Amino acid sequence: MTTEPKTNPPLGRVIVITSGKGGVGKTTSSAAISAALAKKGFRTVVIDFDVGLRNLDMTMGCERRVVFDFINVIQGDAKLKQALIKDKRVDTLSILPTSQTRDKDALTKEGVEKVLTELKADFDYIVCDSPAGIEHGAQMAMYFADEAVVVTNPEVSSVRDSDRVLGLLSSQTKRAETQGAEPIKAQVLITRYDQERVDRGEMMTVDDVLEILAVPLLGVVPESKAILKASNVGTPVTLDGPSAASQAYNDAVSRLTGTQVEMRIQGERRPGLFQRLFGRAS
């Protein structure tokens, strides 16, 4: 792992975390990925696009530090610097929370572009946490993206919605509309993967999902108790001590930044026979 010197000109790369379906782990993944990027030394900002249903602030543990938000900046009521919240754990990480009271129409294409352009001058990675659905908020989150992480559970409705979102990424975005532009680099992040259930034939395998969606795999995050534990205390799982989920997110982020990492699918350690017979350790 190399730590990028902070004096380099910023990369200014916009990554949207999207999925179509709700509840698959977009915000959890946005928090985990942005924290892992920042830990690697990349100047990273994570933006909440879910106007009206602000939740990234809680996942990141900064809900009591929100003064101004993304919408205030778009509407010119606050400066970007005032709205950015610096993370207290990793100094290369910032959070741009959204408004809890306005509605999604406050996100204008021009406004979003202006804020993103300003952020690109200071940050290596700009992570956009998309709302669920495929309406205006989700469209604004993906429109200016250079890369997309499509969060998918190995479950029929999630895979179907991911397919739909992949269609939108390749047609309803700036890169898609600009002649000669390279298309958005979309990758799928499979979350809530349960190897035990896959082995029993109860859950689609990674290969099943990839065969259907036909996009590269960014990583596989196993179903893990560490996720809820981390969100309970407002810590991105990648900053919350070792766990299979944290490892999987760190691997995914290494791939995102161009490092080859072997795809390993870890489950949580299963209790052995001894443990199962003689009570619950841990």
Closest contact distance (angstroms) between CB of 203 and other proteins is 5
CA dist 124 → 3, 10, 46, 176, 222 (Å): 13, 5, 11, 23, 28
* Under rule CB under 8 A, residue 11 binds other proteins: no
Span 176-205, contacts to other proteins by CB under 8 A: 198, 200-205
The H or E element containing residue 127 is strand 125-129
Say how many residues touch other proteins, by CB under 8 A.
19
Q: Is 259 helix (H, G, I), strand (E, B) or coil?
A: coil
Roughly how many angstroms between the first and final C-alpha of the chain, as a whole number?
31
Closest contact distance (angstroms) between CB of 176 and other proteins is 12
Closest contact distance (angstroms) between CB of 143 and other proteins is 16
Closest contact distance (angstroms) between CB of 136 and other proteins is 16
- Rank residues 28 and 158 by Cβ distance to other proteins and give the closer one: 158
In terms of phi and psi (left: phi > 0; alpha: psi -120 to 50; beta: otherwise), the region of 136 is: alpha
- Rank residues 149 and 159 by Cβ distance to other proteins and give the closer one: 159
* Beta-bridge partner residues of 93: 44
Closest contact distance (angstroms) between CB of 254 and other proteins is 29
CA dihedral 40, 58, 223, 35 (to 10 degrees): 0
Helices (H) and strands (E) in the chain, counts: 13, 8
CA dihedral 95, 227, 143, 258 (to 10 degrees): 90
- Rank residues 95 and 213 by Cβ distance to other proteins and give the closer one: 213
* Beta-bridge partner residues of 219: 189
CB 154 within 8 A of CB 265: no
- Rank residues 150 and 256 by Cβ distance to other proteins and give the closer one: 150
- Rank residues 122 and 163 by Cβ distance to other proteins and give the closer one: 163
Span 150-179, contacts to other proteins by CB under 8 A: 155-156, 159-160, 163-164, 167-168, 171
Closest contact distance (angstroms) between CB of 155 and other proteins is 7
Closest contact distance (angstroms) between CB of 166 and other proteins is 10
Provide the 8-state DSSP code for 264: -
The amino acid at residue 260 is: Q
Non-local (6+) Cβ contacts of 239 within 8 A are 35, 39, 89, 90, 230
Which residue ranges make up the site for other proteins (CB under 8 A)? 155-156, 159-160, 163-164, 167-168, 171, 198, 200-205, 208, 211-212
